[in-house]
A and B are shown apart, each in its own frame.
Chain A
Amino acid sequence: MNDSQLLAKVRAGDPAAERALYDAHVDRVYGLAYRMTGDETLAQDFTQDAFIRAFNKLHTFRGDSALSTWMHTVTTSVVLNGLRKVKKFRTSEIDLERARAVAGDKRRAEPDLRDRLRQAIDGLPDGYRTVFVMHDIEGYTHDEIAGALGVATGTSKAQLSRARAKLRVELADFAEEVVA
């Protein structure tokens, strides 16, 4: 079934077509939501909301781009907008994880790469972190990121470059381990 056939069926309210559209995109949306929040409940909330809104907005799709591109743009925007509203929540999660790490593993004197990497990514400015997670972890292209964030492609590239530079500094002690 091609995009226009699928779109016609979804617009006609065909539940099977809606499910097919959902299945085609849900892993990627949920993956991004989880990577950004680190919280299953929040990731589910954002993903559900993203699809509800995407289906509700489907009548605005004009066919200027591929349906999958449009779907990714809408759903990712919903996830990222939702994240801005609960930035406070993310901070609490980080504190909670740190507290748990301190309380639960006193034997380890030095943090390992995994801990330092998490701290370094969490410590990136929001814009850098978003682009790094989307591009280097989840495999979004700069065009997709630019579409979802409503910024120029060059901005996405610049933010990724700065994010990587910061991580290089933060993780310099682990250079051998990183490139091994």
Chain B
Amino acid sequence: MNDQHDNDQLGETEMDRFDAGVAKAARETYHTPPETPRDEMWAVVQAARAAARDGGDVDVVPIRRFRPQPWWAAVAAALVIGVVLGRGTLGGGPDGAVMIADGTTDTPATVDGARPARTPTGAANVVPRSYRVAAARHLNRTEDFLTMFRVDARLDQLDVDLGTWAKRLLTDTRLLLDSPAGRDPELRMLFGDLELVLAQIVQLRAGDPTEVEIIDEGLESSQLLFRLKAAQATAPAMVGL
């Protein structure tokens, strides 16, 4: 009886040592985190907080399932509405750009959360609100698309309609680049980078893993998804989307 008890105790001790050894090895080797990118993440959090303070809650969802519903219709509608409203308000006015009490216009915050200097009304880079709404919707859809592209590429399960979706997004990106939304330097740079990536996806030959890898690496190195998220978080027009 005592022997059995001793054996159990011994077994338990060995198991404890084994478990402790596994935990130690796991702490040292299993997905060991790099240094926390505090400031980089704080910039996004701060931007979202600032946007929430300015215009209400901002719900930033990191990974959204791309839904192949006829979303392009929504994007096209948003663009058309943006163009119509924008034309009606170009030349300045209370509805054309975000007016501020001191007679200046509010421009979107930059990625690092800092707001650029306010510009006098009528300045060349003022983006009418309607175009910002259209741009924000487009960025939202493009983020969905690129996120799912990355996931599917890594699973080697690229959708056959990928090129069609990319082509539509590319067309809308170019439309926005040439619209008043393209006057904003930050947005213009983002649209430019999006145009490049989307064009690569449009031209992607089926079953070419090297091209897919190049696009994936390009997305990573340009931090495009991060910038897309930051641009949306800083755009008050995104509220409610």
- Chain A residues within an 8 Å CB radius of B30: 35, 117-118, 121, 133, 137
Of B18, B40, B57, B60, which is within 8 A of A49 by CB? B60
Q: Which of A12-20, A66-74, A102-110, A149-157 contacts B (4 or more CB under 8 A)?
A: A12-20
- How far, in whole Å, are A117 and B23 apart by their CA atoms in the complex? 10
The yes or no answer to B204 lying at the interface (CB within 8 A) is: no
- How far, in whole Å, are A106 and B121 apart by their CA atoms in the complex? 65
The yes or no answer to B73 lying at the interface (CB within 8 A) is: no
Q: A86-B63, A118-B30, A137-B27 are in contact. Are A18 and B49 (CB under 8 A)?
A: yes
Q: Quick one: which of B7-51 are within 8 Å of A by CB?
A: 14-15, 17-19, 21-23, 25-27, 29-31, 33-34, 36-38, 40-42, 44-46, 48-49
The yes or no answer to B95 lying at the interface (CB within 8 A) is: no
**B65 pairs with A55, CB closer than 8 A:** no
**A121 pairs with B26, CB closer than 8 A:** yes
**B155 pairs with A91, CB closer than 8 A:** yes
Least distance between A57 CB and chain B CB atoms (Å): 10
Of B18, B62, B63, which is within 8 A of A178 by CB? B18
The yes or no answer to B58 lying at the interface (CB within 8 A) is: yes
Q: A26-B38, A30-B36, A137-B26 are in contact. Are A48 and B44 (CB under 8 A)?
A: yes
Q: Which of A1-9, A39-47, A140-148 contacts B (4 or more CB under 8 A)?
A: A39-47
Using a Cβ–Cβ cut-off of 8 Å, how many residues does chain A contribute to the interface with B? 56
Of A42, A88, A180, which is within 8 A of B62 by CB? A42
Least distance between A47 CB and chain B CB atoms (Å): 6
The yes or no answer to A56 lying at the interface (CB within 8 A) is: yes
Can you show 26 pairs from A to B with CB atoms below 8 A apart?
Answer: A19-B42, A22-B38, A26-B41, A35-B30, A36-B31, A41-B225, A41-B226, A45-B229, A48-B48, A52-B44, A52-B49, A52-B58, A52-B60, A55-B45, A55-B49, A56-B57, A82-B63, A86-B151, A89-B154, A92-B154, A96-B154, A113-B25, A121-B26, A136-B22, A168-B15, A168-B19
Residues of B within 8 A of A (CB): 14-15, 17-19, 21-23, 25-27, 29-31, 33-34, 36-38, 40-42, 44-46, 48-49, 52-53, 57-58, 60-63, 65, 151, 154-155, 220, 225-226, 229, 233
Closest CB pairs A-B (n = 8): A45-B62, A178-B21, A34-B33, A92-B154, A136-B23, A38-B31, A92-B155, A30-B36
